[in-house]
Structure 1
Amino acid sequence: MSLFLATFLTGLVLLALGSWFLWKGPSGQSASFAWMRSTPAAVVLFGAAAIWFLWHVAHLGQADFGDYKQLLLLLFGVTALGSFFFVKDFLAVRGLAVLILLSARPLLNAAYMQFDHPQRLLMVAVVYLAIIAALIIGASPFRLRNFFTWLYAKATRLKTLGGILTAYGAVLFILSFTY
């Protein structure tokens, strides 16, 4: 992935998320809470995360447990499938966390050793913050629900976060064209 595409996509995601909070405001509260325990959202998010992770396992090299690739595929595949039956609560949030962690690698790789573009650090900073958030919500997915409860308690918090995300996304979107 090129640095342009990594910054462009990160900017678009932030623009979309910030616009959701600004545009929907308090009326979007039910949708913001509903997806976390939604079965269709879990199938899409956790299913995509499981497929992407299993693809990585299938392409392990010799130095990365490549001899046990089939066993690992079976073990992780059964675990992912079993999650849909035994760990249904907040499965969509866990899937989102895994997708964030898996998508961080190509984004950070795009910015690696690009010293002639110091503006890349604006994108990299957001990716590292997303990694921290993904680790927190992946380990304790109810914390995302608690965050949304806090966020929607006051409209000013919602508008402030939406404004910050939209502005930062716009900056990244524009910066992507400077490479």
Structure 2
Amino acid sequence: MSLSLLSILLATPIALLALYGLIRSEEFKGHLTAFPRSNSWGYLLMGISTVWFLYLVKIEDISDFESYKRFMMFGFAGIGIGTTFFVRDLLAARGAAVLMLLVAKLMVDTARWIDTDARLAIVVWAYVMVIAGMWFTISPWRLRDLLFWLAKSDRRLKGALCLLLTWSGFILVLAFSLYRTPSA
């Protein structure tokens, strides 16, 4: 996948979500505050994260792990499925946190080979997602608290949404200009 395509696939949904939040802010607040405890979002995000992580373990070619790979696959599958069924509290927040880590890995892997300093926008964004993903994995209630804090104030929420819209616009500009390669 090219960095241009990845940037478009990441920035477009964020921009659309921010626009939705700015246009229908009361409805958006309801979705925002309901998200961390949503079982349907939790099942979806944990399912995607578990399958994606298992795929990454499967394609990993570190020879030290080769003899243990089958056990690791079963163990990680058990953890993903077990978490989904036995740790339902804040499941969507946990799933979002794990997905942040996986998306950040994809972002860094994709940006690694691009020969422009502008790739650092994606790399820095990825590292922010790694920090947030680790923090919210360890303490998912912090994501819930952050979303509730944002939803309490119209000004705060609109400011955050404007920031997201601006950032996604910046990434889209990079995607259509500096991230484009002759082979992309």
Alignment correspondent of 1:136: 135
Is there any run of 5+ residues in structure 2 with no aligned partner, and where? Answer: none
Mapping 1:23-34, distance limit 5 Å: 23-34=23-34
Map residues 16-95 of structure 1 onto 2, 5 A cutoff: 16-95=16-95
Structure 1 runs of 4+ with >3 Å offset: none
Does structure 2 retain, via aligned residues, the 8 Å contact 1:17–1:165? no
Contact 2:101 2:130 in 1 (8 A): yes
Q: Report if the CA contact (8 A) 1:151-1:157 is conserved.
A: yes
Instruction: After TM superposition, give the deviation of residue 62 of structure 1 in Å.
Output: 4.5
Residue identity in the other structure for 1:14: I
Q: 5+ residue gaps in structure 1?
A: none
Aligned-pair CA distance for 1:113: 4.2
TM-score, normalised to structure 2, is 0.88
Deviation at 1:72, TM superposition (A): 1.1
Q: 1:58 to 1:109 in 2, by over 3 A?
A: closer
Of the two structures, which has the highest relative contact order with CA contacts closer than 8 Å and spacing of 6 or more? 1
Q: How far apart, CA to CA, are the structure 2 residues paired with 1:16 and 1:136?
A: 26
Deviations 1:61-114 (A, max 9, x none): 252411111111111112222112221111111111111111112211221143
The root-mean-square deviation of aligned C-alpha atoms, in Å, is: 1.7
For the 8 Å contact 2:19–2:165, the answer to whether it is kept is: yes
Q: Name the amino acid aligned to 1:171.
A: F
Assess if the C-alpha contact under 8 Å between 1:6 and 1:107 holds in 2.
yes
Cα distance in 2 for partners of 1:35, 1:159 equals 18
Alignment of 1:74-153 (within 5 A): 74-115=74-115, 117-153=116-152
Cα distance in 1 between the residues matched to 2:18 and 2:158: 9
Residues 146, 133 of structure 1: alpha-carbon distance in 2 compared, 3 angstrom cutoff: same
Q: Percent same amino acid at aligned positions? A: 31
Determine helix, strand or coil for the equivalent of 2:24: helix
> Matched residues in 1 for 2:170 and 2:60: separation?
37
- Give the drift of 1:19: 2.0
Question: What is the Cα deviation at residue 135 of structure 1?
Answer: 1.2
CA contact (8 A) 2:93 2:144 kept: no
Query: Are 1:160 and 2:164 counterparts?
Result: no
